[in-house]
């Protein structure tokens, strides 16, 4: 069964998958996931390293102006919007002092959508989720879990139906890593891929 083949291969490739964003506090994860839109986790980690070290509490982060934030994150792109969102999220979270296990609350924060909320809920609270980022979106199609015309929400629904709920968070992280390092957008490593027999795009790549 394809599901078992996929699960086994992902377990071999990524036995202990984890989020590659670096954070020490719950709010840092939330901020870093928001910042990671349209860029790599690596560049977010570089941009936030000094920022989180120097401003290591919510109160301290809350003293930063949008211009201050821009100076720290200028290398990651979409800096204007991301700086405003950063300031706004810090201000909101600082009112309660922690990131709550509450999707509705999270999705109302500026710059936080369904995907960001899912990553935060899965990593902080182990809430079973599927955050469909660009890697998960692409790999799901290639592995035949979703179809060519499915949008992100439909892909999420299909992934949730395809895999057992107890496995969602682990497989989500594994699919991100598989898409990031193996089944890349351009030049995927098909020659060494053990999922080639079930792949829908093996001939294209």
**How far does Cα 99 stand from its chain's mean position?**
17
- Nearer Cβ to ligand SF4, position 167 or 201? 201
Question: 110-149 mask for ligand SF4 (x: CB under 6 A)?
Answer: --------------------------------xx------
Number of residues that bind ligand SF4 (CB under 6 A): 14
- From the CB of 17, what's the least distance to ligand SF4, in Å? 17
Residue 7 engages ligand SF4 in binding (rule: CB under 6 A): no
Q: Where are the beta strands (DSSP E) in 38-155?
A: none
Note if 115 is an active site residue.
Answer: yes
- Nearer Cβ to ligand SF4, position 36 or 182? 182
Instruction: Say how far apart CA 199 and CA 195 lie, in whole Å.
Output: 6
- Nearer Cβ to ligand SF4, position 112 or 195? 195
> Residue 163 in contact with residue 198, Cβ under 8 Å?
no
- Nearer Cβ to ligand SF4, position 53 or 186? 186
Instruction: Say how far apart CA 131 and CA 169 lie, in whole Å.
Output: 9
Instruction: Say how far apart CA 146 and CA 155 lie, in whole Å.
Output: 6
Closest CA to 132 of 180, 181, 172: 172
Closest CA to 31 of 75, 71, 91: 91
Q: In the 8-state DSSP scheme, what is residue 107?
A: H
Coil, helix or strand for 189? coil
- From the CB of 44, what's the least distance to ligand SF4, in Å? 25
Sign of CA dihedral 124, 44, 183, 201: positive
Residue from 26, 133, 141, 170 carrying the catalytic annotation = 133
Angle at 31 between CA 27 and CA 33, to 5 degrees: 115
Residue 21 engages ligand SF4 in binding (rule: CB under 6 A): no
Question: 84-113 mask for ligand SF4 (x: CB under 6 A)?
Answer: ------------------------------
Q: Which residue of 116, 140, 174, 182 would you call a contact of ligand SF4, by CB under 6 A?
A: 182
Which residues form the catalytic set? 115, 133
**Footprint of ligand SF4 (CB under 6 A):** 142-143, 182-183, 188-190, 193, 195-196, 199, 201-202, 205
């Amino acid at each position: 069964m394809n599901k078992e083949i996929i699960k086994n291969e992902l377990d071999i490739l990524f036995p202990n998958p984890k989020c590659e964003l670096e954070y020490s506090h719950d709010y840092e994860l939330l901020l870093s996931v928001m910042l990671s839109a349209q860029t790599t986790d690596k560049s977010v980690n570089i941009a936030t390293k000094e920022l989180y070290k120097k401003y290591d509490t919510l109160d301290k982060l809350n003293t930063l102006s949008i211009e201050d934030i821009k100076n720290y994150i200028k290398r990651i792109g979409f800096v204007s919007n991301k700086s405003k969102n950063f300031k706004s999220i810090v201000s909101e979270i600082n009112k309660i002092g922690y990131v709550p296990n509450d999707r509705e609350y999270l999705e109302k924060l500026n710059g936080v959508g369904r995907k960001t909320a899912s990553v935060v809920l899965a990593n902080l609270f182990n809430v079973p989720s599927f955050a469909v980022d660009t890697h998960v979106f692409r790999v799901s199609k290639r592995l035949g879990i979703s179809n060519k015309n499915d949008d992100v929400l439909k892909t999420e629904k299909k992934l949730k139906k395809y895999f057992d709920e107890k496995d969602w968070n682990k497989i989500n992280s594994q699919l991100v890593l598989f898409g990031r390092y193996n089944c890349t957008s351009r030049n995927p490593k098909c020659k060494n891929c053990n999922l080639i027999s079930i792949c829908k795009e093996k001939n294209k790549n």
